[in-house]
Amino acid sequence: MTETLFEKIWNSHVVVERENEPSLIYIDRHLIHEVTSPQAFDGLRVNNRKVRRPDLTVATIDHNVPTTDRSLPMIDETSSTQIKTLEKNCKDFGIKLFGINDPNQGIVHVIGPQLGITLPGSTIVCGDSHTSTQGAFGAFAFGIGTSEVEHTLATQTLWLEKPKTFEILATGKRKNSFAVTSKDIILSIIKQIGTDGGTGHVLEYRGDAISDLSMEQRMTICNMSIEAGSRAGLIAPDEKTYDYLNNREYTPKNYDELVDEWKNNLMSDPNSKFDKSFTIDVEQIEPQVSWGTNPAMVSDVTGKIPTPEDFGQNNEIQIESAKKALSYMDLKPDTAIVEIPIDRVFIGSCTNARLEDLKDAAEIVKGKTVNSDVNAMVVPGSQMVKLEAEKLGLDKIFKDANFEWRESGCSMCLGMNPDILKPGERCASTSNRNFEGRQGSGGRTHLVSPVMAAASAIAGHFVDVREWC
Amino acid sequence: MKPFSKINSIITPFDKANVDTDQIIPKQFLKLITKSGFGKFLFYDWRFNHDGKEKDDFILNDLHYQNSQILVTNENFGCGSSREHAVWALKDFGFDVIISPSFADIFYSNCFKNGVLPIILDIENIKKLLKFKDKIELDLQSQTINFGSESINFQIDSHRKTRLLEGLDDIDLTLKEDEKIENFEKNSSRISIFE
């Protein structure tokens, strides 16, 4: 019988399976951060339980951390309490923590792969929906709630109903592979299948247009699977995957043996059946800009803001959503995307703050200056990304152009730290969610790629970055 | 967890689609380290003006609905962030049941862990319920909703149902399978991060 990659991973992690019941699935990697874990550790304490496998668990601090000078005391007491709570919990329960001053600190989904903790064929969880990022390595990686964090800590397993499978086949070749990025591919996919198109399914991204991408670009795609409603998205590992993970700090010692094993197993069998399938030709894809308040409300950069009726296509609920979105975003139908002025630019987040993202953005910025009406910042995804970028002199390029160059963390993607939009401010952001108030109450988010964000920072409004390179 | 009992309550009609967890509980309230006290922050940006005063036209501020235990809403409720704080806020505010044509996966799963029953109904029944003004009777045991002269059945996974009805703790149940977990680890040793 043929099996998809997801089914192979699932089947090799079943601990208990009974007919018509959820299965008990073993978890190979559990990543923890400060926001969704305190109540889980409390639950363990109340019930006098231990962490079953501290050796499969690591923690970092990313959501709350200030991205300014970390030698200074934190101003926000509640953030500080949450961080101290995680430090204490890790100490009490014997969990390795990459703390605020650790060179390995960073956004949890960035450091997993970069440290070689993420492994092909494994099951990976974290109390964070963007855990799907790590599916780029051919892992079943998904976000969980705090109760499931507690359950994983106590048992190293989770009860799960087996998700269905959804093939996303990406064909063709991007016309300008520098200006049209993997961010544009995933935004185009979400635009077409919708924010709940993948609900109940695991996405497998396949096809030449996916193989063509670097590992960092693949992570951007898998990252936003959750924005299509899928708890997890994955890509079969190949030579690029194995090269990326080789010789990382926590790469397993018997790595070569493991790779041989993975090469024989970790792919969907020819002719394997998916429950759903969707094909996209990447040759047709332009740089994308979101205009609304969910990640399916997206336009080509050469397009215009749609009327709610055009967007909704006879669906009353969608028409109503689009009206509300346009009102919140203060945009009028038929406005050209490139005519929309911006106040802020945020290059960061688990979606687009890895080294390649910063390199590409710097390429656009080099020798230019941020528009005087725009405030722009770069927040590297991890301290290691920051260090590598600085070795390449990227910090200097950004600073010379009047970008702020910050310490790593989740930052303005969700604004739990002081990096937030003011009410009414309009931001070109490389993050993943354009929900109302996501980047600050009353703030207006437009999702774009790093090169689009960089070019827009210089111009002061959205531009078609293909004209710049 | 408290066992889930029959519910007799009016509905709070909340006719919105794609309600994300950032709206249900905005990020500034995720810094608490307990599970309680989130209800006052539920839908914060929709419920309150910038000066902290209640918005008159927001349904949850209407005293008529203050004892309602049932929220009826539209498709893809709870999308976005995995934050369980969203369920804690709904429960703390007083909602024990959420009825929608569809839910986001993580939110749906989080509900059951906190004694909140998410019910999926087709859009026609949702429309009827959104208009229904009197109290409705909801019985999880028989999986029925009675309103006026009508009665509808809803589907729910039998194990989740049992856990809700009996208020069972998931971890206790799993620890009964401990031998199987140990065997699994013995038969296929997992790769330690720190070997």
Which residue in A82, A129, A415 is closest to B82 by CB distance?
Answer: A129
Question: Above 90 in pLDDT, residue A367?
Answer: yes
Query: Distance between CA A332 and CA A307 in Å, rounded?
Result: 8
Cβ–Cβ under 8 Å, residues B104 and A201: no
pLDDT value of position B158: 93
- pLDDT band at residue B1 using 50, 70 and 90 as cut-offs: confident
Report the residue of chain A nearest B194, measured CA to CA: A55
φ and ψ at A169, to 5 degrees? -100, 115
Which residue in B18, B27, B180 is closest to A195 by CB distance?
Answer: B18
The answer to whether A55 contacts chain B (CB < 8 Å) is: yes
Q: Could you read off the pLDDT of B152-170 as tens digits, one per residue?
A: 999 999 999 999 999 998 9
Greatest pairwise CA separation for chain A in angstroms: 64
φ and ψ at B147, to 5 degrees? -140, 125
pLDDT value of position A170: 98
Is A145 in contact with B159 (Cβ distance < 8 A)?
Answer: no
pLDDT value of position A2: 96
Is A437 in contact with B80 (Cβ distance < 8 A)?
Answer: no
Q: How far is CA B129 from CA A321, B67, B76, in A?
A: 20, 17, 17
Question: Above 90 in pLDDT, residue A278?
Answer: yes
E-strand stretches of A319-415: 344-347, 375-378, 403-405
The answer to whether B122 contacts chain A (CB < 8 Å) is: no
pLDDT value of position A73: 76
pLDDT value of position A76: 85
The answer to whether A42 contacts chain B (CB < 8 Å) is: yes
φ and ψ at A395, to 5 degrees? -60, -40
Question: Above 90 in pLDDT, residue A308?
Answer: yes
Give B117: exposed, middle or buried? Use CB within 10 Å, 0-12, 13-18, 19+.
buried
Q: Could you read off the pLDDT of A146-192 as tens digits, one per residue?
A: 999 999 999 999 999 999 999 999 999 999 999 999 999 999 999 99
pLDDT value of position A347: 98
Cβ–Cβ under 8 Å, residues A142 and A125: yes
Best residue in A16, A39, A202 for a mutation probing chain B (most B CBs within 10 Å) = A39
Cβ–Cβ under 8 Å, residues B16 and B46: no
Q: Could you read off the pLDDT of A33-90 as tens digits, one per residue?
A: 999 999 999 999 999 999 999 999 999 999 999 999 888 777 788 999 999 999 999 9
Question: Above 90 in pLDDT, residue A240?
Answer: yes
The answer to whether B58 contacts chain A (CB < 8 Å) is: no
Angle separating helix axes A38-46 and A146-155, nearest 10 degrees: 50
SS3 A437: coil
Element (H, E) at B181: helix B178-187
> Which residue type does A182 have?
S
State how far residue A273 is from chain B, nearest Cα, in angstroms.
23
What does DSSP assign to residue A461? B
First to last CA, chain A: 48
Query: Distance between CA A126 and CA A243 in Å, rounded?
Result: 25
Chain A (317-346) residues lying within 8 Å, Cβ to Cβ, of chain B: 317-318, 320-321
pLDDT value of position B195: 83
Q: What is the pTM of this model?
A: 0.97
Percent of chain A residues topping a pLDDT of 90? 96
pLDDT value of position A1: 87
SS3 B38: coil
Residue whose token pair is 């910025």: A365
Best residue in B14, B18, B161 for a mutation probing chain A (most A CBs within 10 Å) = B18
pLDDT value of position A69: 86
Query: Which tokens is A335 given?
Result: 């406005």
The β-bridge partners of A403 are A376
Best residue in A19, A50, A317 for a mutation probing chain B (most B CBs within 10 Å) = A317
Q: What is the dihedral of CA B6, B9, B15, B21, to 10 degrees?
A: -60
State how far residue B136 is from chain A, nearest Cα, in angstroms.
25
The answer to whether B33 contacts chain A (CB < 8 Å) is: yes
pLDDT value of position B50: 86
Mean pLDDT of chain B: 96
Instruction: Please list every residue in chain A whose beta carbon sits closer than 8 Å to the beta carbon of residue B190.
Output: 26, 28, 53, 56
Element (H, E) at B178: helix B178-187
SS3 A118: coil
Instruction: Please list every residue in chain A whose beta carbon sits closer than 8 Å to the beta carbon of residue B181.
Output: 15, 24, 26, 155-157
Query: Which tokens is B78 given?
Result: 């709870």
What does DSSP assign to residue A31? E
Query: Distance between CA B95 and CA B12 in Å, rounded?
Result: 9
Question: Above 90 in pLDDT, residue B180?
Answer: yes
Query: Distance between CA B88 and CA B129 in Å, rounded?
Result: 24
SS3 B184: helix
SS3 A15: strand
Mean pLDDT of chain A: 97
Query: Distance between CA A465 and CA A452 in Å, rounded?
Result: 6
- What is the ipTM score, two decimals? 0.95
The answer to whether B186 contacts chain A (CB < 8 Å) is: no
pLDDT value of position B35: 92
Q: Could you read off the pLDDT of B119-153 as tens digits, one per residue?
A: 999 999 999 999 999 999 999 999 999 999 999 99
> Which residue type does A80 have?
S
- pLDDT band at residue B61 using 50, 70 and 90 as cut-offs: very high
pLDDT value of position B169: 86
- pLDDT band at residue A205 using 50, 70 and 90 as cut-offs: very high
Which whole number is the average pLDDT over A377-402? 98
Which whole number is the average pLDDT over A330-341? 98
Q: Could you read off the pLDDT of B77-131 as tens digits, one per residue?
A: 999 999 999 999 999 999 999 999 999 999 999 999 999 999 999 999 999 999 9
Short-list A120, A399, A152, A157, CA closest to A265: A120
Query: Distance between CA B27 and CA B21 in Å, rounded?
Result: 9
